[in-house]
Chain A
Amino acid sequence: MRNIFLFIRRYFTFLSFLLLQAASLWFLFTYNRFHRAKGLGVANEMSGFFNSNYNMAEDFFTMREENRRVHKMNDSLLNRMPTNFVIADTSVRLVTDSIPNDTLGRVRHFIWRDAQVMYNTVNSEKNYLQINKGSSNGVRDEMGVFSSDGSLVGKVINVSPNFSQVMSLLHVQNKASVLVKKTGHAGIISWDAKDPRFLLLNNIPKSDSIAMGDTIITGNYSISIPPGMMVGRVAEIIQDNTTNFYVLKIRTGANFQSLQQVFVVENLQYDEQTKLLEETRKKVDDPKRNTR
């Protein structure tokens, strides 16, 4: 017993070194596995305080560029106003009702909230954004995030009361399902951590005719991301002779280096859809029902 105490006293510094190393590595690897650590909510609020102060200063310098972009977005929305359209062959004007639940039986599925980017990097292998809307504003995990000109940016992975962390598309663990607009084929978009301007798109069969500049849009099969939004354009077609699939280099629609304003998209039927999914899974995998 005495020898053990002597041993501990002799190597105390080394043992505490090992202990601190173990603690750091544990933080690191659990964070990567579950995408988030629960204790990080508090830390999130703290870094959020500094980031919002820094952001106020930074905004001043990027105002003009951001203003131009918002103006362009506004412009495109104004053009969609129903008052701009007249049906040519009758004298009746098309009027669209803007109440969310109107007489035609349309139900609002997605709701968009604006948020400001507090912190953003592009030069790491795992890039995250911090935005100034949190659980008290109704932001929850898994919500989609879009840039001010409507291109996909990422998804929310961690929320604190006033801030949330967003995993950007520029993250080596990020996977998103997308479509080629022209052919309607679905593929998986990922990032190879080489250049923050380009993403990689796999799984598009070579039977498709893909040309440079083809538009890539968000897929139909995501619960949290609205379909048909811009992701990027094909910038390079890499011939891979070993498979029957293209590897496409996609230039991102959003400019990740100058993100200032973003939209967080909430699916109003998210709970219902995920619950149905869970229950289906439970029903199929239930050992009692599934006796062969």
Chain B
Amino acid sequence: MSDLIRNIIRFSIFILLQVYVLNKIPHLHKFIVPSLYYLFILWLPFSVPRMALLVIGFLTGITLDVFMMTPGLHAAACVLIAYLRPFIINVLAPKDASGFSYREPSPKALGWTPYLVYTLILTLFHHGYIVLLEWLSFGSIWHFLGKVIATTGISMLLIITTELLFPRRMKFRTNTA
């Protein structure tokens, strides 16, 4: 399956999962909404150019916004993490390899600890930005901090579960292929 088709399927699954499952489940506590859809951006292949990353991020966010009736809110956060992604990968990528031996970021490609750091940083940025934008019009500072920490915790839990439940079968990229 080509990267393009794989990612289109992934995109629809993530958006539908977010809109019809995660936003629908009875809330755990006040307003902690589990969110997972941005894992799509974290899973994009290494080879996507930075410019394309930004556009894909924007489209992902705006699609979710259409369903959530908050135009621009998730789009802004997705563009932010799409912009930051290459920097963080550059810092965390294994130094000894000349290129990336795998196609996309995964625990296998980066190693568990760097991968978790990578997801944690981007999750924090994503939720921090969304809650900040909501908070500008509404709420107090404790509400803001509590919500960022709680949503980040839930999202990290979901990401780890996803990684354990659906290990992506990825071919090791060799020179011969």
A16, A44, A50, A193: the one within 8 Å of B31 (CB) = A193
Find out whether the CB atom of B75 lies under 8 angstroms from the CB atom of A24.
yes
Find out whether the CB atom of B51 lies under 8 angstroms from the CB atom of A125.
no
Task: Give the residues in chain B near A128, CB-CB below 8 Å.
Answer: 69
Task: Give the residues in chain A near B68, CB-CB below 8 Å.
Answer: 121, 124
Residue B108 at the A interface, CB < 8 A? no
Find out whether the CB atom of A40 lies under 8 angstroms from the CB atom of B51.
no
The interface bits of chain B over 62-76 (1 if a CB of A lies within 8 angstroms of the residue's CB, else 0) are 100111111111011
B19, B51, B75, B137: the one within 8 Å of A13 (CB) = B51
Find out whether the CB atom of A17 lies under 8 angstroms from the CB atom of B54.
yes
Find out whether the CB atom of A16 lies under 8 angstroms from the CB atom of B54.
yes
Residue B23 at the A interface, CB < 8 A? yes
B16, B33, B134: the one within 8 Å of A123 (CB) = B33
Give the tally of cross-chain contacts (CB within 8 A): 95
Residue B139 at the A interface, CB < 8 A? yes
B130 to chain A, nearest CB (A): 10
Within 8 A of A (CB), among B65-113: 65-73, 75-76, 79-80, 83
Chain B interface mostly? helix
Task: Determine the distance from Cα of A159 to Cα of B70 in the docked complex, in whole angstroms.
Answer: 16
B31, B65, B69, B75: the one within 8 Å of A125 (CB) = B31
Residue B167 at the A interface, CB < 8 A? no
Residue B172 at the A interface, CB < 8 A? no
The interface bits of chain A over 184-198 (1 if a CB of B lies within 8 angstroms of the residue's CB, else 0) are 000000000111000
The interface bits of chain A over 169-190 (1 if a CB of B lies within 8 angstroms of the residue's CB, else 0) are 0001000000000000000000
Task: Determine the distance from Cα of A257 to Cα of B26 in the docked complex, in whole angstroms.
Answer: 8
Task: Give the residues in chain A near B75, CB-CB below 8 Å.
Answer: 20, 23-24, 27
Task: Give the residues in chain A near B6, CB-CB below 8 Å.
Answer: none
Chain A interface mostly? helix
Find out whether the CB atom of B58 lies under 8 angstroms from the CB atom of A20.
yes
Find out whether the CB atom of A27 lies under 8 angstroms from the CB atom of B72.
yes
Interface centre among A16, A26, A123 (most CB of B within 10 A): A123
A17 to chain B, nearest CB (A): 4
The interface bits of chain B over 112-156 (1 if a CB of A lies within 8 angstroms of the residue's CB, else 0) are 000000000000000000000110011100000000000000000
Determine the residue in chain B with the shortest Cβ distance to A157: B69
B62, B70, B72: the one within 8 Å of A25 (CB) = B72
A40, A43, A46, A124: the one within 8 Å of B33 (CB) = A124
Task: Give the residues in chain B near A25, CB-CB below 8 Å.
Answer: 72, 76, 133
Find out whether the CB atom of A54 lies under 8 angstroms from the CB atom of B20.
yes
Determine the residue in chain B with the shortest Cβ distance to A14: B83
Known contacts A124-B33, A193-B138, A195-B30: A50-B58 contact under CB 8 Å: no
Query: A14-B83, A125-B134, A195-B30 given. 4 additional CB < 8 A pairs?
Result: A20-B79, A40-B66, A125-B138, A172-B138
A-B contact pairs, 23 of them (CB 8 A): A13-B50, A16-B54, A17-B79, A17-B83, A20-B79, A25-B76, A26-B72, A27-B71, A27-B72, A28-B71, A28-B133, A32-B137, A43-B66, A46-B66, A50-B67, A51-B67, A54-B20, A121-B24, A123-B27, A124-B70, A126-B69, A128-B69, A194-B30
The 3 lowest CB-CB distance pairs between A and B, nearest first, are A27-B72, A28-B72, A24-B76
